[in-house]
Each structure stands twice: as structure tokens, then as C-alpha cells.
Structure 1
Amino acid sequence: MGPIPLEPIPLGPIPTARHPSDSMARVLSSQPGSHCPRVVQKEVQAGWGAALLLPLGIPAPTAGHPCSHRWASLLPWLGILAPIAGYPCSCRWASLLPSLGIPAPITGHPCSHHWASLLPPLAIPAPITGHPCSRCCAAGSTTLPPRTSEASTGLTFALCRSAGLGAGRAAQGWRTHAGGRRVLPAQYGLVFDAGSTHTALYIYRWPADKENGTGIVSQVEACTVSGPGISSYADNATGAGASLKPCLDKAMEIIPVEQQRETPTYLGATAGMRLLREQNSTKAEQVFAEVSKAIAEYPVDFRGAQVLMGNEEGSFGWITVNYLLETLVKFSFAEKWEHPRDTEVLGALDLGGASTQITFQPGVPIEDKNTSVFFRLYGTNYSLYTHSYLCYGQTQALKMLLAALHQGSLPAQQVSHPCYPKGYRENITTADLYDSPCVHAPGTASRAQTLTVTGTGDPAACSAAIQRLFNFSCGANTTCGFNGVYQPPVRGQFFAFSGLYHNLHFLNLTRGQSLSSVQAAIRQFCSSSWEKVQKEFPTEKRDHLRDTCAASSYTLTLLVQGYRFNHTTWLNIHFVRQVANIDVGWTLGYMLNLTNMIPSEIPQRVTGLKRSNWTAATVLLAIMLILIFSLLTVICCQKNPSGYEML
């Protein structure tokens, strides 16, 4: 096998991070004046990769060299698929890197993504919007000079044009075969996360021709809806529907028109709507009717709005975490989806505005079946512990804290708050304080009463007041979380997200610090005065600064005393916001479940002969028939000498 003939291409400096695709083709070969010198790596490091590259006239890459990934553009000709759009180090492609002794590509590196110029004609989805190589393809169809000057523009533009990619199609995920035949574009899905404090719309995308019912999902956009959560529109249901429209408009700009009616769209409401339904089911139904009406006005495949139960919210968050980490199903080097071997699943810890969830796979049988959930995903059984504590989300918990402080204050109109910075002062009404079913008003409280709340900045008193919100006695259960709810001992690694991440990330406490370090940092912050806090964070919102001590102290109490993490198991908690540029939460797991993207069983493959094998089989059958006919003729002639004439 000789080297692939390539036309000489003028060489210049390595592409910069600002324009990483301008000179993609230049790295295919090494020419005088190139910034990619021929450096052959030692055979012990290059492995069998050098055996593939050298016959093609490509020197083996050198680890750490700025042009070490130039060979990547030849991977398709070697029968190796390039990374899927948005996953530079994904799937079986990345599994070659260790064998070749090459570090994985780095996003934004000038030589990391030059392979993208070859994606469209090789039937590989074009890079997604925002990808370092997206803009050249998107601009190529409209800004290309005449074909005679394409060489100076770069091979990428020529390939984009030959693939027939328009300015929008590169970003929309059209796939084109080398012959120019267009096939199905990527598919999209929309999920509204209607939380207690706010609503967000997540726009997902995955390959339309996903194998075995699975697909690699990427998050295209996350649009935050203006205003509070939909449960806050109990007295103005039409406002709930109207609030969703700006994000729906944005989704329609992203999703191609021809695909919008095939886009599955869901709205899932969590603890805020669970509380409203308990408080006033009629108003809850009116809110759902209005949001459903608003979504139905758009050309999407709307599949309904529903309230998620607590165990569903926890379970879907667990699916999201383990799907993104490829512990449930993984696309192997053998080009098939399979369950990873010897891989431990992770637990999920979630803190919302009105509830908190814990979900994990315990090492012991689950004693309380009310806290047990069973999944069969891709042929593997998972028996999980999950529980959701309603009213113990951050917003409701801090309201319960303030109400408890009010009920213990003398005089009742003056409330000292140990979790607020010293010197902070504000006025609130009892109507605002006792407006939730989680907060029980005393019989003597007047709804029109005005309270003056003053911060004292006392971390010890703050921690003690928060702990009084919980009942840590297990009662009849041998092991428990809090409030007498059964919970087996925590086991394995955990991802903590949503409020748990944000509360500690603000204080830079999400980098794997020990429990002692986290406790000390929170105590130090809670001792700060209001004047000092405002000077250190001048651009931060007033409410956020006011609640930082209370929220971080609540997070610590919930995880340590509530969920029973200790100094050792604390190090197993990983505080995250995203994995692979996808927000961690229940929404992705919810969509994966409803679209059956992770089937319960491994789909049976229907095997068949290739066209070449069918041709060979047909010829062989014809030869066999001729031989059988000839044999019968010989036998007939031997029995009847005149048979030949008769025949």
C-alpha cells in the first residue's frame, strides 16, 4: 500500500486558535517551510499506529508536538471514524490515542480539529454551532471566491462546497455522502424544566440514524425563562404560558423548519408544582392548561406536561449522570453499543428550590420498598435507593429557617438572623414569610404584620438553627437519612449538582477540598460583616449575598448530618454543573427515558449477507444446479443407451 497521492498545498504558519480551520489541509504532509517537522516517534511509543501511518507517507506523531494530530484527517481512509461532532475525544476514535502514544486533542488547540474539514463529504455530521471549526463551513457557501482561488482559501471551503453544505446546514447537522446524496439530518428534542424558582428550556440533538435505538446526545442550548417558576403564576395562569414563548422562539431559530414538527417536546414540573397541587389542585390544573396551550401554538411534537414525582426526579437525575459518564452504555471500538464491563455507576445528589433528592446503588438489599426503584437498561438490572424530601429544597428550607427564628423572637416584630451578615437589615411581611405549605404560621401571627430582620453573622448559632430543621433520629430504622426516612449507608462515588454545586462553587469549594477545609471556609465567610461582603462581591445581587452563608451552611448540614457523609466519604462527592457541555439534571434522563433512547434490552441484530456475498451465493447455486443436472443426465444415459438420442 503506497502513500495516498496528494496535490501540493502552499504551507504557512499553523492555524491560530481564532481561526483553527483556515489551513486544515496543510497538515496532511510535511513540506519545506512547514511548522510541522517530520519527527518519527520511537517505535515503543508509536505502537502499531506507526505501521499504519508510515506506509501512507505520514510520520508518526510526537506526543506534545503542536502538530501531533495531523494524521487524524486520514483516519476515515483507515476505516476509523472521526469523532462525532461536539465530542472531540469520543467513542472508539479516542481509544486509538493511547495505542498511538498521542494525547487526546485539546479544544481550541490550533492543530486539534483539522480533521473537521473532511467531515461533510465523509458522511460525518458537520461541527455544531460554536465548535472551533464550524464557522468556516457555515461561511463557505456564501463567501467563497471563484473555484480557481479556493486553494488559497483552504481545503475546508472546497470540501464544504462539494458537499453541498449551505450556510445553515453545517450548524444544523446535515449529513452528506461522498456522492452528494443527502440523508436524514440530526434529530432534536426539547425539555422544559419547570422548577419551583425558575423554568429552563433544554434543546438536545442526536444523530437521526442512531444505532440500536441509542444515540450520542449533545446539548445545543439552555434557555432560561424570565420570571419565577410556573407555580408562582397560580393567580395568573395565562402569565405562565406567556413566559415560555421567548425560549420557544429561540428554539425555533435553532431547529430547522423541516424538522420542527418531528421534534419531541416535553414539560416536566417538579416540587413547586407538587406543592401547588397539594395546596390548590384547581389552580395547578389551570397553570398546566395554559403552558400546554402556549407550547401547542408552536410547530413541535408536544407530548404533554406532567408533574414528576420525587422518586422520578431523583431517578432521571441518576440516569443523566451515568449516561453522560458512559457507565450505562458505551459505543465501543467494535462499532456497537454495549454495557461497559467492570464499571461502577455513580450516585446522584440534587438540591432544588423545594426538594432535595438522593439516588444511588447501595451495597446491601433495600429494606424499605418505598425507597426502591428498579431499572433494566440495555440488558442490565439496576436496583437503586432513591428518596426525595419535599420542603427541603433550598428556597423552602431557608423560609422554614426564617419562620423558626421569627417564632422564637421576642419581641415578635424583631428577628435576629445568625446566618445573615452582621449589619444586614431588611423588612418583610408575615404574608410573604408564611405563603408556602412548607412554612406553618403560628395561630397568633397577623398576615399584615411587618417584621424587621437583622443579621448577626454568628456561624455557630447559624449551624445550630439549621440543624433544628431536621430530625436526625432514625427511630425504628437501623439506618436512615433524616426525619426517620430509611436510607442505607452511602456507597461509591457521587455527583452533586444544581444547588449543591452552586452554593459551594461561589466560595470556591468544589475542587475536592477536604470536609474540614470546607467547614472552615464556611465559618470564615459566615463571620463576615455586610460591609465586607459587599466590598468583596460588588457586582453580586443583594439577595444572593444575603443568603450565601445560610445556603452553604444548609448544604453542609444536609450532606453530612442529613445524608450521612463523613470525612472519608465526603471525598467521593464531585460537585459538577456540566459533563461534556451538557447540564447535569433530570431533564436529559427524562428525555432518554421517554424516547426509549436507552432500551431495556439489547436489540437483536438482524444479520444478512452483503451484496457481494449474495452474488457469490447465487453463482454457487447456479453451478450446483448445473452439476446436479449433468449428473442426472449421465445416470440416465447409463441405464438407457438410447436415452441420449431421446434426450
Structure 2
Amino acid sequence: MLKRPGRGSSDSLSDKLYKHRSLLLLVSVPLLLLTMVFYVMPSQTPIQIHSSKTSYAVIFDAGSSGSRVHVFCFDHNLNLLPIGKDLELFLQTKPGLSSYASNPRSAALSLSDLLHKAEAAVPKDLRPFTPVRVGATAGLRALGVDASNRILQAVRDLLKQSSSLSSQPDAVTVIDGTQEGSFQWVTINYLLGNLGKEYSDTVGVVDLGGGSVQMAYAISEADAAKAPKLSDGEDIYVRKMSLKGTNYNLYVHSYLHYGLLAARAEILKVSEDSGNPCILEGYNGSYNYGGESFKASSSGSSIDGCRRVATKALKVNEDTCTHMKCTFGGVWNGGGGDGQRNLFVASFFFDRAAEAGFVNAKEPVAKVHPGDFEEAAKRACQTKLEDAKSTYPHVDKDNLPYLCMDLVYQYTLLVDGFGIDPWQEITLVKKVKYNNALVEAAWPLGSAIEAVSSLN
């Protein structure tokens, strides 16, 4: 028997909508909100997707001898990506910021061309998200607080007015020596693929700049626990670092006044106003550094005489060591160990070795011994200034009078200062091979890794 249709079956559509109005409202409001979100998202999506794949960093190394800019590009795993045909953009100019002590604006403008070229290497949509750092090193440290602060503020103003890169006020600063040394250690071990390994599988680094020299190497927990306690205001000896899931105790110390250019002044101070045995015979002039002028005339260059003067300048024989083991000037040496077994020596060490002719300047890496610097020094110290240009055609004329001094100092620093055996093999490094490309072995890459990591 058929049932008669009920009255509800004849409800109109409008009646049904009215009857279920609460349910419809509950469903439609979230849908409306989702629609609005998707409508707004497209304008932001390209930047979010792009920046999650690649990140850039622009790092200025404002050293005492010149200013250099490095531009790096990383993928999301912090692997370097090419910029054009190379794995970094690297440009430089001379002189350094410290040469403009009395003219901060000119100091800042000396970076202008480097800044524009570096910015052009970064995709336009990523520039607001790309950190730019300016790390001034020993040259500005030597100027004093007032002069260096005026220069740094002029550089901050330049970045703010002339660049769309992401610049924070504290990203333009004089980096302390321990930062410089630790960044250099990170750079070289990153490029060698050592980060994430045991500390004993990393390499130690000595970086000889113009105004300061840094030593850095990973040490054991036991040696880190023995680190001397320093007074307030002094750099700590051990920096704790966590890199690629591995914790490191990094011994690092920076010796201000003992970079290659600053050490010349220290060596000339020893002889005061008399002739100096480290100056090539035939030269009589003056040496300007850090706003001071020093008499630089030869007393007849002699490797033995120069060694005595260099050792005195380094304060090697002064009984100022209050720790178990010291380098020079009473500085704790970190205890030695496996992290120092393989030593990579950078910057002016490579440059002078190439100019003196005992390594190939076209090769980025060379295996040598500290004793090779002494052998090269013997030859240089016997050369008169008038013959030096033809004997050493690749040495800048301003550096020629000091070639004996530089080579003797480098040998003395390694052997007497740092206690390295004269015939221990060390690696002179200019660039490091990374993914079939060559990358500058300098601290800015370590700074870039930290800058990009802090964004994530």
C-alpha cells in the first residue's frame, strides 16, 4: 500500500534554507575566511618559496691593507651555490678604511663601488632579505675608539642610504680577534668538509693579517677545562661552537700588533733610531703605520741580526708565562693536541712565499715547512736593494726593503712564537677546492654561514 506523502516533502527550497540556516552559517563562515586567505597569499608566495631555496650574504672584510667584499649563495642545507661561474663574488680595493682616519666620509665612499657590484649579484627580490655585514679588523682597532667609531657610522649611513640590502647597525663593527680567528677556522673546515666530524679530524688555522695574527684549533674537553681564567675585558681562550650537529671547543687567540704590517713597526721599535739589520742594504727611509712614522734604514741586512731583533719584538724570551704552556708574550697555547696536528696557514704567509719564489702563486695550496721561510730569508737578507727588483720581480716596490724582515718574522713567529717544529709540514692556503671550484680561504665565509644560519 502506498504511503501518502507528508507535508514536509512539499517544503520549498527557501523553507529548507531557512530551516537549516544555523548549519549553513557554521559551514560558510570558515569557507569565506579560507577564500580570503588564499586571495591574499599569492603576493607573498614567490618570496617565501624563493627564499626557502636560496639565501645570500654579503660580507665586507675591512682589513688594514685594503677592503674586500665577498658575496655567497647557499641552498637550504647551507651548501654553497654558484654565483655566475664561481662559488662566490670576490672584489677588493686599496687602501683600507684605516687610511682615512681623518675623513670618515671618504672611508665609507671607498666601499661604494664594491657595494654596488655586490648588490647587483643578488636577485632583486632577495635583496631586502640578504644580510650585509662589514667587519673591520686590526687596522681600525689600532686607530682608537673615537676615530674608528666615526668611520663605522659613516659606513652605516652609506648602507642605509645607498643599498636595499638588509643592514643592521650592529652588523657594521670592529670584529674582535677571536671572532676573526673562529670565522677563519669555520671557513677552512667547512670547505674541507670537516664540520660535523670529531675535533681530531679538523685542521688548525694560523691567519696572518696586516694588523694581527690569529691561531685557532679545536681542543679536547680536558684541555678546554684547563683554560686559564682571564680578567674582565680580555678575550676568552675557548669558544663553544655547535656546527652540523657537533659541539666543538675552539681554542682561539688573536695577537694585536703582530700582523705582518704591524710587526714591522714592532721590529723597528727595537732598533729605535739606529739602523736595522732586517732592512735591505741600500735603503734609508721611514715606515708609516697606525698614524706613526718609524725610522727604517739598513745597518747591513743580516739574517742572524734580524732573527735577534724579531725574537725580541715577539717577546719570546721574556719570562711572562704564568700557565703550563705558552706561545709568546705570556699567552696560553691551548695545550696542543690532534686539532693542531694538521695546520693550515693563510693570508700573508702565502703571499710572501709566492713572492719569494718557493711556492707557485698560481696554485691555491702548497705544502711547505716553516724552515722554507728561513731558507728564503737567507737569500733575501743577502740581497741589496738595487738588485732586489730584478731578483724579486713580483714584490711590490714598497715592500721590497722589508722582504728580509717579513720572511724572518714569519719563520720566527711559527717556530719561536707558536712552537712549531721547523720541519713539520704545514699547508699554505690561498683558496680551497670545494665542489670542483676554488673558494677564498678567508674568514668572511664563516661570518656568512653564521649570518644565514641566524635567519632560519
Q: Distance in 2 between matches of 1:487 and 1:373?
A: 14
Equivalent AA in structure 1 for residue 376 of structure 2: A
Equivalent AA in structure 1 for residue 430 of structure 2: R
Pairing partner for 2:427 from 549, 574, 577? 574
Q: Are 1:191 and 1:203, in contact at CA under 8 Å, matched by a contact in 2?
A: yes
Q: Distance in 1 between matches of 2:151 and 2:354?
A: 34
SS in 1 for 2:163: coil
Q: Distance in 1 between matches of 2:394 and 2:427?
A: 28
Q: How far apart are 1:263 and its partner, in Å?
A: 2.0
Write out aligned runs for 1:454-603 (5 A): 454=298, 456-472=300-316, 473=319, 475-490=321-336, 491-510=340-359, 511-538=366-393, 540-568=395-423, 570-571=424-425, 573-580=426-433, 581-596=438-453
1:424 aligns with 2:283: yes
SS in 1 for 2:278: coil
Write out aligned runs for 1:187-586 (5 A): 187-207=55-75, 210-211=76-77, 214-216=78-80, 219-225=87-93, 227-276=94-143, 279=144, 281-296=145-160, 297-303=162-168, 304-328=171-195, 339-340=196-197, 344-363=201-220, 364-366=222-224, 367=226, 368-369=228-229, 370-407=236-273, 409=274, 416-426=275-285, 428=286, 432=288, 435-436=291-292, 453-454=297-298, 456-472=300-316, 473=319, 475-490=321-336, 491-510=340-359, 511-538=366-393, 540-568=395-423, 570-571=424-425, 573-580=426-433, 581-586=438-443
Q: Distance in 2 between matches of 1:217 and 1:386?
A: 29
Larger fraction in strand: 2
Q: Are 1:503 and 1:552, in contact at CA under 8 Å, matched by a contact in 2?
A: yes
Q: Are 2:203 and 2:342, in contact at CA under 8 Å, matched by a contact in 1?
A: yes
Distance change >3 Å, CA 197–CA 533, structure 1 → 2: same
Q: Specify the structure having the higher radius of gyration (Cα).
A: 1
Residues 540-593 of structure 1: CA deviation (Å, up to 9, x unaligned): 42112222221111111111100110135x21x211011122111211111111
Residues 17-38 of structure 1: CA deviation (Å, up to 9, x unaligned): xxxxxxxxxxxxxxxxxxxxxx
Equivalent AA in structure 2 for residue 463 of structure 1: R
Residues 346-381 of structure 1: CA deviation (Å, up to 9, x unaligned): 111111111111011235513224311111222211
Distance change >3 Å, CA 384–CA 540, structure 1 → 2: closer
SS in 2 for 1:593: helix
Q: Distance in 1 between matches of 2:296 and 2:148?
A: 33
Q: How far apart are 1:434 and its partner, in Å?
A: 7.6
SS in 1 for 2:389: helix
Q: Are 2:132 and 2:165, in contact at CA under 8 Å, matched by a contact in 1?
A: yes
Aligned-residue CA RMSD (Å):
2.8
Q: Distance in 2 between matches of 1:301 and 1:590?
A: 15
Q: Distance in 2 between matches of 1:248 and 1:434?
A: 26
User: Which residue number in structure 1 is paired with residue 22 of structure 2?
Assistant: none
Equivalent AA in structure 2 for residue 290 of structure 1: A
Q: Are 1:423 and 1:455, in contact at CA under 8 Å, matched by a contact in 2?
A: no
User: Which residue number in structure 2 is paired with residue 38 of structure 1?
Assistant: none
Equivalent AA in structure 2 for residue 498 of structure 1: S
Distance change >3 Å, CA 434–CA 294, structure 1 → 2: closer
Q: Are 2:128 and 2:165, in contact at CA under 8 Å, matched by a contact in 1?
A: yes
Q: Are 2:238 and 2:250, in contact at CA under 8 Å, matched by a contact in 1?
A: yes
Q: How far apart are 1:342 and its partner, in Å?
A: 9.2
Residues 166-197 of structure 1: CA deviation (Å, up to 9, x unaligned): xxxxxxxxxxxxxxx99987432100001122
Residues 496-527 of structure 1: CA deviation (Å, up to 9, x unaligned): 11112212222244543444444223212211
Q: Are 2:131 and 2:451, in contact at CA under 8 Å, matched by a contact in 1?
A: no
Q: Are 1:459 and 1:526, in contact at CA under 8 Å, matched by a contact in 2?
A: yes
Write out aligned runs for 1:52-91 (5 A): none
Q: Are 1:489 and 1:564, in contact at CA under 8 Å, matched by a contact in 2?
A: no
Q: Distance in 2 between matches of 1:250 and 1:434?
A: 30
Equivalent AA in structure 1 for residue 427 of structure 2: H
Q: Distance in 1 between matches of 2:295 and 2:215?
A: 35
Distance change >3 Å, CA 476–CA 184, structure 1 → 2: closer
Distance change >3 Å, CA 515–CA 248, structure 1 → 2: closer
Q: Are 2:56 and 2:122, in contact at CA under 8 Å, matched by a contact in 1?
A: yes
Q: How far apart are 1:340 and its partner, in Å?
A: 4.4
TM-score of the aligned structures, taking structure 2 as reference length: 0.76
Q: Distance in 2 between matches of 1:543 and 1:452?
A: 12
Equivalent AA in structure 1 for residue 276 of structure 2: H
SS in 2 for 1:512: strand
Distance change >3 Å, CA 540–CA 493, structure 1 → 2: closer
Write out aligned runs for 1:111-130 (5 A): none
Distance change >3 Å, CA 481–CA 255, structure 1 → 2: same
Q: Distance in 1 between matches of 2:214 and 2:312?
A: 20
Distance change >3 Å, CA 283–CA 488, structure 1 → 2: closer
SS in 1 for 2:88: strand
Asked which structure has the greater RCO (Cα within 8 Å, sep 6+), the reply is 2
TM-score of the aligned structures, taking structure 1 as reference length: 0.55
Q: Are 1:501 and 1:575, in contact at CA under 8 Å, matched by a contact in 2?
A: yes
Q: How far apart are 1:327 and its partner, in Å?
A: 0.7
Q: Distance in 1 between matches of 2:74 and 2:407?
A: 37
